[in-house]
Amino acid sequence: MSFNSIPEDLCAADDRLCIAREYNQAVIIVPTLLLLGSAVILVTLCFMRCRTQQRTRSHPTLQRGIDAPAGINPLEHEELPMSVKHQNVRPTLTAAPRASTEQYPRVYSQVKALPLSFSIKADNMVTLYRACVDNRNVVLRVLKETANHNERQHFLGFASFLSGLGPHPFLPNLLGMISVEPPLMMVMEDLQHQDLLGYLWKCRQDGSLESSHDMTEKRIFIMATQVASALEYLHSQECIHGNVGARSVLIGGDLTAKLWGFGSAYRRTQPISLSAREPTQLRKWQAPEVLSMRAFSHSSDVWSFGILLYEMVTLGDPPFAKVFVTELLQYLQRGKHLKRPASCSHALYSLIRSCCHWSPQHRLSMTELIQKLRAGERSANDRRVLRVPEPLDFEKYMREAGYGETYNYAVL
């Protein structure tokens, strides 16, 4: 029976009222019900989509694209040791003003724990992850969700401190801050080779890095000029780094050097740390006036910069390797100084000595230092690759660098 035919056994051919009554369900009711059902399904789907988007905006850890590999515990924490002095820094709950994660898609992919290096140590407050956002590699510094009020304030205060330093081509970029909901998160620029000390150790043996990444005297001058430029900028901001060394310099994929290591100096700006001592392991990088318990100054950074040059030309040897930390101040008081490494040119060694002068007044200013570095770069050897044939003895390095030794403030 066709749809337009009239069933002869139900209605007469001319009885239109009967025909409308018989086909009412098929012609009117069924399509209406189908239309209403489709509308209900569409509204339900729209509601569920809105709820999902709201949750991803409120909870960064639920964002689409976070794909941490199995075994990563977000409550396991590492933190880069950092150190810079800045005045009038106040913790804040607002996002970092220099940049915001709103500028980037809130989708982090390829999330994995940042590999440990010598300059990364265990910490129970912050976890470091490498991730990718908007086709850009970043480092996520994630505060544990169980952090107490003081830890939250420290984390937010440090983010505010970094933001307050302002942008500079040779300081790592703070890309943004997520502080609306826990876990609090800082999004930092990722530098491929991590710390300079580890990079120097990789340069020690043939074939450890690509030939384009070999360390030459010219590259030392280039990297050192970049670090000095960052230091000069910090000093212009009334900041004193206080922790200059290869461990506190990060190296990008293009071998750009960026000064890092701001944590301990930030802690020194807080009331609880006004009388806190610097870690013992930093003593061999500190100027004589700091060893004798006097205040840090711009000249103290210049001294440490000279030690950094020594580390670079020796591919990561510790300074004053044969001197105990407890005897270092007396050693310097007797007029002793860093010995010239065999691979160090006279021009570079002269620069090290000018930075590591006993008297702060006789050390180079940052302006003079940068001028000499640029002049040295123009005449530096770019062909002879620095090598250290013997493998690194880590335990020996720890011992010679003075890790774990006690303080001694005796002045002869």
Q: Is the pLDDT of residue 319 over 90?
A: yes
Residue 173 lies in a domain: no
246 or 125: which leads in pLDDT: 246
Q: Is the pLDDT of residue 112 over 80?
A: no
* Cβ neighbours for 100, distance < 8 A, ≥ 6 positions apart: 176, 177
401 or 205: which leads in pLDDT: 401
Sign, CA dihedral 352-406-122-80, equals negative
pLDDT in tens, 37-50: 778 888 777 777 66
* Cα three-residue angle 52-54-55, rounded to 5 degrees: 65
Tokens 């006097």 sit on residue: 294
What's the first-to-final CA gap in the chain, in angstroms?
118
Residue 7 lies in a domain: no
Residue 36's pLDDT band, with cuts at 50, 70 and 90, is confident
Would you state the structure tokens that stand for residue 34, as one six-digit string?
């189908």
Residue 142 lies in a domain: no
CB count within 10 Å of CB 250 equals: 27
Over its C-alpha atoms, the chain yields an Rg (Å, rounded) of: 32
CB count within 10 Å of CB 61 equals: 16
User: Of 188, 189, 234, 197, nearest to 215 (Cα)?
Assistant: 197
257: helix, strand or coil:
strand
pLDDT in tens, 236-248: 988 889 889 999 9
Would you state the structure tokens that stand for residue 130, as one six-digit string?
């490498």
* Cβ neighbours for 44, distance < 8 A, ≥ 6 positions apart: none
pLDDT of res. 62: 32
Counted domains in the chain: 1
Q: State the residue range of the domain holding 214.
A: 191-411
Residue 140 lies in a domain: no
Residue 88 lies in a domain: no
35 or 187: which leads in pLDDT: 187
* pTM, rounded to two decimals: 0.71
Lowest mean pLDDT among 174-178, 250-254, 268-272, 306-310: 268-272
Residue 386 lies in a domain: yes
Would you state the structure tokens that stand for residue 148, as one six-digit string?
């107490």
Q: Is the pLDDT of residue 78 over 50?
A: no
Residue 196's pLDDT band, with cuts at 50, 70 and 90, is very high
- In percent, how much of the chain has pLDDT > 90? 36
- Residues 154-182, mean pLDDT to the nearest whole number: 88
260: helix, strand or coil:
coil
Residue 92 lies in a domain: no
- Residues 212-217, mean pLDDT to the nearest whole number: 83
pLDDT in tens, 257-316: 999 988 776 776 777 544 444 554 589 999 999 999 888 899 999 999 999 999 999 999
Alpha-carbon gap, residue 330 to 409, rounded angstroms: 9
Sign, CA dihedral 183-87-120-115, equals positive
CATH number at residue 233: 1.10.510.10
Residue 251 lies in a domain: yes
pLDDT in tens, 332-378: 999 999 999 998 999 999 999 999 999 999 999 999 999 999 999 99
